[in-house]
A = this chain, B = another copy of it.
Amino acid sequence: MKYVKRAFVFLFVLMVAASTAAADTDALPSWNDGPAKSAIIEFVQTATDKASMKFVPPPERIAVFDNDGTLWASHPIYVQLAFALDRVKALAPQHPEWKDKQPFKAVLEGDLKTVMAGGEHGLLEIVMATHAGMTTDAFSQIVLDWLATAKHPKTGRLYTEMVYQPMLELLAYLRGNGFKTFIVSGGGIEFMRPWTERVYGVPPEQVVGSSIKTKFELQDGKSVLVRLPEINFIDDKAGKPVGINQHIGRRPVAAFGNSDGDIEMLQYTESSKRAHLEMLVLHDDAEREYAYKCDTEVGRLCKGLEVAKENGWVLISMKKDWKTIFPEK
């Protein structure tokens, strides 16, 4: 019995030590001290303080994150577009007609300029030819297989190694404080779901995105969903609050984006009756990642900067606020 008692005392000491350590440890080690880090910590401490007027009850602690440019690098082209272009090449042997048919001809010739000149209509053709016509299970596997080997042209890293370390810490910090973290992306919902749990700790049911329609079928006695070449929902701009309401059914209290496509999501969050936080990642680090300017081809944050200023949204400067950009390999 004596040993049991000793064991408990030891356990007790350990528990006290652990809780003290947790309080002292920096949950955001890749963030430099500054207004961005302070805004996050102040918001979380207030929202979880029962004594505060701004206390947010746990069920309402909903945090939403854009994906491309907010959680992972998506430059020089969207990762999903890189996937689609690679799929066109992989599927080309089954489509001899693509050699003479735009936009596929340009893709096969590596002529990205002509591809992009085809505009939305051309991109839609590429998406439908590469994202539809198989079951959801098969598509999920195709995405995983591609991500296992495809590499970023500049860094030579896997795309899933080009997630932002400071944002991984932020996701974990929020979850550690009772927040449910959701991804709300203009990207394809089924392009993200196969890997978001492993990479971000965000399970499939907490991913919101654009989608194509699916159809239920029995194939050899097995129930499947077949992906159809028809848009179901575009989760961008004013579509983001719509997608949030559709999937989550609650107004978020924290929202993180990086482009004009995120403005409405942040506005929707800002109208919460609870304490709330809105932040935009600024791509201003040409050396370690990219520096976008609003007026360039890749500039995706223009109007958003003005709205941020008016509304007091907090900017995250990759250059100033982040000690490291990508996780260590």
Report which A residues bind B (CB closer than 8 A). 1, 4-5, 8-9, 11-12, 59, 62, 136, 180, 189-190, 193, 197, 203-207, 211, 213-216, 218, 222-225, 232, 238-239, 241-242, 245-250, 264, 267-268, 270-271
Closest CB in chain B relative to A255 CB, distance in Å: 11
Name 24 A/B residue pairs within 8 A (Cβ), A-sorted. A1-B9, A4-B9, A5-B5, A8-B9, A59-B197, A62-B205, A180-B205, A189-B249, A193-B249, A204-B248, A204-B250, A205-B247, A205-B249, A207-B249, A214-B245, A216-B238, A216-B241, A216-B242, A218-B267, A223-B241, A223-B270, A225-B241, A232-B246, A247-B247
Copies held by the complex: 2
Question: How far is the CB of A301 from the nearest CB of chain B, in Å?
Answer: 19
Shortest CB distance A215–B (Å): 7
Instruction: List, in ascending order, chain B residues with CB within 8 A of A205's CB.
Output: 62, 180, 205-206, 247-250
A225-B250 contact given A5-B8, A5-B9, A8-B9, CB 8 Å threshold: no
Tell whether, in the assembled complex, residue B9 and residue A204 are in contact, meaning their CB atoms are under 8 Å apart: no
Q: Which 5 A-B pairs have the closest CB atoms?
A: A204-B249, A8-B8, A216-B238, A223-B271, A5-B5
Residues in chain B near residue A207, CB distance under 8 A: 249
Contact yes or no, B5 A222, CB < 8 A: no
What are the residues of chain B within 8 A of A213 when measuring CB–CB?
Answer: 242
